[in-house]
Amino acid sequence: MPSNKSVSDAPIVRFTNCRILRSHQLQREDLWVREGKILNPEKLFFDEKGSADIQLDCKGSIIAPGFIDVQINGGFGVDFSVATDDFKSGIDLVSQKILSHGVTSFCPTLVTSPPAVYHQVLPQISIRNGGVHGAGILGAHLEGPFISKEKKGAHPEHYLRTFEAGAFQDLLATYGSLDCVRIVTLAPEMKRSSEVIQELAKRGICVSLGHSVANLSQAEEAVQHGATFITHLFNAMLPFHHRDPGIVGLLTSDKIPAGRRVFYGMISDGIHTNPAALRIAHRAHPKGLVLVTDAITGMGLAPGRHTLGQQVVEIDGLNTYIAGTKTLSGSVATMDTCVRHFQEATGCSVETALEAASLHPAQLLGIEHKKGTLNYDSDADFLMLNDGLYVQATYIAGEEVWRQDALGM
């Protein structure tokens, strides 16, 4: 057997008998992995005269890129918006637990909080690669406090803030640091929001529009200044109106700058968005749809009372409300559940459902050259799933980090 040691001593693993999601299609091919990256087998054969050191039979499974959750507030008893001395152990617990739901990277999300919470929590969030310890952290998503009182949803009103005095300096003073921040959700109708959006975009931070009463022209202006995302479409924004469709109108706007795509998050849990609304959004702008869980502390826990930042929430089945009200407050759905519900509700292809949780969030964050696909040289973060889209195993950098015990492989 020819040696494969000419380039690297690292073992080459070949996954066989599988259907790989590549170039928007499930393809009957083998997946080759070395040193945490997807290998091009042709280069391996012809340039290195190499072969596999380890061969794994996937028994007909689907292999898809790992899921990326860009809006997750916590889970399993952990709340990212609560400053604690053991915050790091909390984030470690969530990153470990979401592996079983196919999430290989995520953006821990903080809801509207007092400045002291941002100042204490943000320095404890560090961007890191995933592995057996848990899913990778891509940076924080700060949802608020620069949002609309009218559409605050589950956010505590007395911590909401405006930009009127110092614009970007107000934001910096509130958060303390932007070192680990990847996404900021704000309401674009606020005074001086345009300069804040420009400053954030200049720093490579994704600006998302949400918790807002913006009309369509205000939303379009925000996109022209650099906003690229909509936080949980339909939730916490003006309802669609035919004379002024508001932020929802961005899905079919003809005023989006050339070469720019607007992405939008959807909580596909069967609670936050009626299946008909999910279908409307998907058919209007399929390439912008990003599945998010918007999961809160209670994900993975029994029904009852839990927290969301500074507030108490009640979980009743898949419904989560601010205690004593009927105001929805995040979700307890897992990402794999959202993918299955999305596919069922829209009738879309398996490929489309999987890409809404992998390729699209990677494109939103500008990391599609290394995550969200199974292209050659990209990170070997991938899932094995059955035909019902239930996760059988999760891999990060080519290493198995979770497996369904009953699989018997």
Q: Is 329 one of the annotated binding-site residues?
A: yes
Q: Is 317 one of the annotated binding-site residues?
A: no
Under 8 Å between Cβ of 235 and 278: no
Q: Is 235 one of the annotated binding-site residues?
A: yes
Q: What is the DSSP string of 298-313?
A: TTTS-SEEEEETTEEE
Residue type, 264: Y
Q: Is 369 one of the annotated binding-site residues?
A: no
Tell me the three state secondary structure of residue 19: strand
d(CA 312, CA 372): 35
HSE at residue 57, side-chain half, CA atoms within 13 A, is 4
Q: Is 243 one of the annotated binding-site residues?
A: yes
Residue type, 103: V
Q: Give the angle subtended at the CA of 188 by the CAs of 184 and 191, to the nearest 5°.
A: 115
State the DSSP H helix or E strand holding residue 16, giving kind and residue range, or none if neither.
strand 13-16
CA dist list (Å): 95 to 73, 98, 129, 130, 363? 12, 6, 11, 8, 22
Q: Is 330 one of the annotated binding-site residues?
A: yes
Q: Report the largest interatomic distance among the alpha carbons of the chain, rounded to a whole angstrom.
A: 71
Residue from 294, 336, 379, 381 carrying the catalytic annotation: 294
- Crossing angle for the helix pair 216-224 and 193-202, nearest 10 degrees? 30
* Residue 294 falls in the annotated catalytic set: yes
Q: Is 232 one of the annotated binding-site residues?
A: yes
d(CA 299, CA 282): 26
Can you say which residues are annotated as belonging to the binding site for Zn(2+)? 143, 211, 232
Can you say which residues are annotated as belonging to the binding site? 143, 154, 211, 232, 235-236, 243, 272, 328-330
Q: Which residues are catalytic?
A: 294
Can you say which residues are annotated as belonging to the binding site for substrate? 154, 235-236, 243, 272, 328-330
